[in-house]
Amino acid sequence: MSFVTESPIWRPFTQHALQPGAFKIARAEGAWLEAEDGARFLDAISSWWVITHGHRHPAIMQAIREETERLDQIIFAGFTHEPAEALARRLVALTPPGLDYVFYSDSGSTCVEVAIKMALGFWRNRGEARTRIVALEYGYHGDTIGTMSVGARSPFNAPYEPLLYEVSRIPFPSRGREQETLDALERACRDRPAALLVEPLILGAGGMLIYGADTLAEMKRICARYDVLFIADEVMTGFGRTGTLFACEQAGVVPDIACYAKGLTGGALPLAVTMCKREIFEAHLSPERARAFFHSSSYTANPIACAAALANLDVWATGEPAARVAALCDMQATRIARFADDARFSNVRRLGIVTALDLNVADRGYLATIALDLMRVFNARGLLLRPLGPTIYVFPPYCIEAAELDLVYDAIGEAADCFGRSA
């Protein structure tokens, strides 16, 4: 049976009273998921923005198989291993210049937690009491208490509100209102915060909201002027999503601290890194043990995941993914254009391989049940799409073919026929 209703599993981001079941997937390949009974789903959101090239990329799978012949988890304090060493060297060479140190963890949330802790440790070890983080309206950085605190407040995190720490929130730089954001950032910087934390160029879970590279570059300049650390959360944007390998490249921005996860292994295994400038590492160097960076997770630098990431970087080094990304950007641009003047949608937009559009419905906001109605329509057509409230977005793996993308956009048109209304 490919639809499971009786299960002891409590699934993430799921209201079980409304969504009691789940499709049981037995096989994944390329852009497709296949259920036990043979039903197929086109994975048009790359399984929560994780898969880059496609499911089960042969070179990455092969590297994983080979590494299991040598290593499993190895303690990573006092000991190291070649997959982690080689990967760190490769990442330092690949990421914006100056990100010279690599701290390993295992998820997007943890690498952002690490970034925040690095920033606070940096200032403390320098003898400055700077603990405040500046963050963007609608931002999302994970679901731990620490990363929820820097993310936007919403019904999702309301139960934990008393535990969430305060941040300086600056408005999202929507088009025409960029100066408001920059002014707010400048005011916040005068209070000597520890760091600005942003998702560069596109805010994911906050609604696939896009802003300009010029604004990102200006944000970095303001931070530099006030000696505020700039943290880029590239967990979603990293590894090609925005059309370049990393989003910060488009703004010529070198972050002081950068977070990468999801696409680091091509999506095959959990692995994350927080990379930082030399001065942040060196601020933690001291004969006093208390100044060390006290963070670890049991699975830090898992060798098999590092081997998968190395294989992924080898795949990128062939140039093929960059060419596929460029082609996919064009394919996405032509397909989303068909809705540009469709009155049932607003804010039709694209950045890199990501497109998004807001269906005009009465029920808006994060928890709008329209998302579930839409999801059912898409699932019934063999598509995996997971709208964010009324925002439908397409975030495909790079292997998707033109005809497959057409299925996605046809279904979006049909969904609008069912639920959309002219604004």
What would the x/- binding string for ligand PMP be over residues 155 to 194, using CB under 6 A? Answer: ----------------------------------------
User: 199 or 256: whose CB is closer to ligand PMP?
Assistant: 199
β pairing state of 345-351 and 354-359: antiparallel
Q: Point out which span in 136-144, 319-327, 330-338, 394-402 binds ligand PMP (CB under 6 A).
A: 136-144
How many whole angstroms separate alpha carbon 202 and alpha carbon 210? 4
48 labelled binding-site residue? yes
Give 365's DSSP letter. S
- Find residue 195's DSSP bridge partners: 133, 229
Q: Rule CB under 6 A: say whether 205 interacts with ligand PMP.
A: yes
Helix (H) or strand (E) holding 355: strand 354-359
Neighbours of 171 (CB within 10 A): 16
- In the complex with ligand PMP, the residue whose CB is nearer, 48 or 281, is 48
Span of 79-87, 155-163, 229-237, 333-341 interacting with ligand PMP by CB under 6 A: 229-237
Instruction: Tell me whether strands 272-277 and 257-260 are parallel, antiparallel or unpaired.
Output: antiparallel
Kindly report the backbone phi and psi dihedral angles of residue 232, in degrees, each rounded to the nearest multiple of 5, phi listed first: -100, 120
Residue 233 marked ligand-binding: yes
For helices 320-336 and 303-317, the axis angle rounded to 10 degrees is 80
Q: What are φ and ψ of residue 5, in 5° steps?
A: -115, -35
What does DSSP assign to residue 12? T
Query: Two tokens at 158?
Result: 């309301």
Pairing of strands 202-203, 133-136: unpaired
Query: Do residues 119 and 227 make contact, with C-beta atoms less than 8 angstroms apart?
Result: no
**How far is 352 from 274, CA to CA, in rounded Å?**
23
- Supply φ then ψ for residue 157, to 5 degrees: -115, 10
| Closer of 136 and 361 to ligand PMP (Cβ) | 136
User: Per CB under 6 A, which region of 32-40, 197-205, 218-226, 301-309 contacts ligand PMP?
Assistant: 197-205
How far is the C-alpha of 408 from the C-alpha of 406, rounded, in Å? 5
Query: What x-and-dash track marks residues 33-62 binding ligand PMP by CB under 6 A?
Result: ----------------x-------------
Among 114, 222, 261, 331, contact with ligand PMP (rule: CB under 6 A): 261
236 binds ligand PMP per the rule CB under 6 A? yes
Q: Is 386 annotated as a binding residue?
A: yes
d(CA 168, CA 78): 38
| CA 190 – CA 171 distance, rounded (Å) | 17
* Closest separation in Å from C-beta 114 to ligand PMP: 12
Among 105, 107, 312, 332, binds ligand PMP (CB under 6 A): 107
Is residue 265 involved in binding ligand PMP (CB under 6 A)?
Answer: no
Query: For the chain, what is the radius of gyration of the CA atoms?
Result: 21
- Among 140, 260, 339, 378, indicate the residue that binds ligand PMP (CB under 6 A): 140
Q: Does 113 bind ligand PMP (CB under 6 A)?
A: no
The verdict on 263 binding ligand PMP (CB under 6 A) reads: no
The answer to whether 297 is a known ligand-binding residue is yes
Among residues 234 and 256, whose Cβ is nearest to ligand PMP?
A: 234
What is the closest distance, in whole angstroms, from the C-beta atom of residue 143 to ligand PMP in the complex? 7
Residue 356 in contact with ligand PMP, rule: CB under 6 A:
no
Q: Is 142 annotated as a binding residue?
A: no
> Which residues does the annotation place in the binding site for substrate?
48, 140, 262, 296, 386
**Interface with ligand PMP by CB under 6 A: which residues?**
49, 107-109, 112, 140-142, 199, 204-205, 233, 235-236, 261
